[in-house]
C-alpha cells in the first residue's frame, strides 16, 4: 500500500487546522506542517498532530513555502491541502481504496476541488498527489500550482477535496481579504515581472476587489496568450465580459461573447449571455434556443481543469427559460423550468448544508 506525506503551509489557522487534520487522519501516514509566521495557537495545535513542524521565513511567495514543505516529506507520495480544506467522510473511503490500488507506475494523481458557497457551486481539478522524488515544482506568487517536469504517468481520482472558507465565514464579515491583492502589489512595486499565471490570478483578485480597470488590463494582456489553455482562455473571456459590464462598457460584453463562439463549443456562461441579449431585443424564441444550449451542451472533460461554475448550466438557464415561456403564455413549459431551477437551487443549499454537517462532525 502506498504511504502518503501530507505537506501543508499555514499561518494563523487555529480555527481551521484541527478540522482539516481530523478529516484526513485515517489516510495520511505522515504530517508535515510548515508555518510561515503564525502569531496565534497554530503551531501548538500542529504539534498535537505531528512533531514535523517547521518555520519558514515569509517572502511574499506561496510557491516558495510550498516547495520548502515538500522537501520535508519522507513517504512514497506527497499530498497537499490548505488549512480550510477538508476531505469529507464519504470521500475518505474512496481515498482508502485509492491508497490500496495505486500502482507504482502512477506518478501524479488529480482530484476534484469543490468550492461551495451560499449561492453558487464551482469546482476545478488539481494535482493532489505527487510521487516523492519526481521533478515537481510549485509556481506562482499566489494561487500557486504544481508543474511536473519530464515524462510522468497520471491518474484522475474520484476523491473530492472540499474548500470550506466561504461556508465558515457565512455569518462573519464577508468583505474579501486584501492579503493576496497586497502580495501581488508589493511584488509589482519591487519590480517583479508577473508570469502569465500570476497575471491571470492577479486579474481575478482585482475583480474580487472591484478594481475593474486593473482586472481588464491584466486579463487583456493574457487573452489568447499561447501559454493559456483553451479552457482558461474561455474563462478569461467570461471574466472580461463581466468586468467590462461592471466598468460601464456593456457593448464589450456582446463583442466578447461573439468572439468566444469562434473559439470552441458554446461555453455555458456565454450561452446565457446570448440568451440575455435576445431577451433585451425582445426575441424570446431565440433567447430560449440559447438558454437550452446552456444546460444541454456537454462540455469537454478538459473544462474540469479550469474553473467551472455550475450556475450557468443548472438553475440560471432554467430560471430564464421559465421567464421566457411565461412571457409567451406557455404555462406548462414555464412551470417545468421553474421547478428545474428550484431543484438545482435546493440541491445547492443541501450540498452546502451537508458540508457544514461534515465540518461539525469533524470538529467533534
Q: In terms of domains, do 197 and 141 share one?
A: no
Query: What distance in Å separates the CA atoms of residue 228 and residue 231, rounded to the nearest whole number?
Result: 8
Q: Which domain holds residue 288?
A: 265-364
Q: In terms of domains, do 19 and 139 share one?
A: yes
Question: How confident is the model at residue 360, as a pLDDT?
Answer: 54
Query: What distance in Å separates the CA atoms of residue 338 and residue 316, rounded to the nearest whole number?
Result: 10
Q: In terms of domains, do 117 and 153 share one?
A: yes
Q: Domain containing 139 — which CATH number?
A: 3.90.550.10
Grid cell 462540455 is found at 299
Query: What distance in Å separates the CA atoms of residue 135 and residue 114, rounded to the nearest whole number?
Result: 27
Q: In terms of domains, do 63 and 211 share one?
A: no
Model confidence pLDDT, tens digit, residues 178-200: 999 999 999 999 999 999 999 99
Helix/strand/coil percentages in the chain, nearest 5: 50, 15, 30
Residue 362: is its pLDDT beyond 60? no
Confidence bin at 364 (pLDDT 50/70/90): very low
87-97 average pLDDT score: 96
238-262 average pLDDT score: 97
Query: What distance in Å separates the CA atoms of residue 203 and residue 242, rounded to the nearest whole number?
Result: 12
Q: In terms of domains, do 220 and 86 share one?
A: no
Backbone CA torsion sign across 149, 153, 158, 159: negative
pTM for this one?
Answer: 0.90
Model confidence pLDDT, tens digit, residues 298-345: 888 888 888 878 899 999 999 999 999 999 999 999 999 999 999 998
Closest C-alpha among 213, 216, 251, 210 to residue 237: 216
| Mean pLDDT, the chain, integer | 93
Amino acid at each position: 500500500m502506498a504511504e502518503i506525506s501530507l505537506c501543508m503551509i499555514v499561518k494563523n489557522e487555529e480555527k481551521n487546522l484541527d478540522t482539516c487534520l481530523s478529516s484526513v487522519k485515517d489516510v495520511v501516514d505522515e504530517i508535515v506542517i510548515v508555518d510561515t509566521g503564525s502569531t496565534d495557537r497554530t503551531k501548538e495545535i500542529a504539534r498535537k498532530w505531528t512533531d514535523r513542524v517547521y518555520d519558514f521565513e515569509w517572502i511574499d511567495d506561496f510557491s516558495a513555502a510550498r516547495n520548502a514543505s515538500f522537501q520535508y516529506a519522507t513517504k512514497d507520495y506527497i499530498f497537499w491541502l490548505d488549512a480550510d480544506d477538508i476531505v469529507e467522510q464519504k470521500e475518505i473511503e474512496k481515498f482508502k481504496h485509492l491508497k490500496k490500488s495505486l500502482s507504482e507506475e502512477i506518478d501524479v494523481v488529480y482530484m476534484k476541488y469543490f468550492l461551495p458557497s451560499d449561492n453558487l457551486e464551482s469546482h476545478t481539478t488539481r494535482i493532489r498527489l505527487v510521487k516523492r522524488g519526481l521533478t515537481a515544482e510549485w509556481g506562482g506568487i499566489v494561487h500557486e500550482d504544481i508543474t511536473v517536469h519530464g515524462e510522468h504517468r497520471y491518474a484522475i481520482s474520484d476523491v473530492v477535496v472540499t474548500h470550506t472558507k466561504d461556508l465558515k465565514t457565512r455569518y462573519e464579515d464577508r468583505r474579501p481579504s486584501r492579503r493576496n491583492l497586497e502580495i501581488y502589489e508589493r511584488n509589482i512595486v519591487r519590480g517583479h515581472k508577473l508570469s502569465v499565471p500570476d497575471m491571470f490570478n492577479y486579474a481575478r483578485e482585482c475583480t474580487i476587489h472591484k478594481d475593474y480597470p486593473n482586472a481588464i488590463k491584466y486579463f487583456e494582456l493574457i487573452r489568447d496568450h499561447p501559454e493559456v489553455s483553451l479552457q482558461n482562455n474561455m474563462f478569461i473571456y467570461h471574466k472580461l465580459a463581466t468586468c467590462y459590464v461592471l466598468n460601464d462598457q456593456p457593448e464589450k460584453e456582446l463583442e466578447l461573447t461573439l468572439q468566444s463562439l469562434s473559439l470552441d463549443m458554446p461555453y455555458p456562461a456565454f450561452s446565457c449571455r446570448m440568451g440575455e441579449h435576445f431577451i433585451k431585443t425582445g426575441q424570446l424564441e431565440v433567447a430560449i434556443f440559447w438558454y437550452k444550449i446552456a444546460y444541454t451542451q456537454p462540455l469537454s472533460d478538459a473544462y474540469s481543469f479550469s474553473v467551472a461554475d455550475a450556475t450557468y448550466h443548472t438553475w440560471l438557464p432554467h430560471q430564464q427559460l421559465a421567464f421566457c415561456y411565461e412571457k409567451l403564455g406557455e404555462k406548462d413549459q414555464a412551470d417545468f423550468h421553474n421547478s428545474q431551477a428550484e431543484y438545482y437551487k435546493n440541491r445547492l443549499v443541501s450540498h452546502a448544508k451537508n458540508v457544514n454537517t461534515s465540518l461539525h462532525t469533524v470538529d467533534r
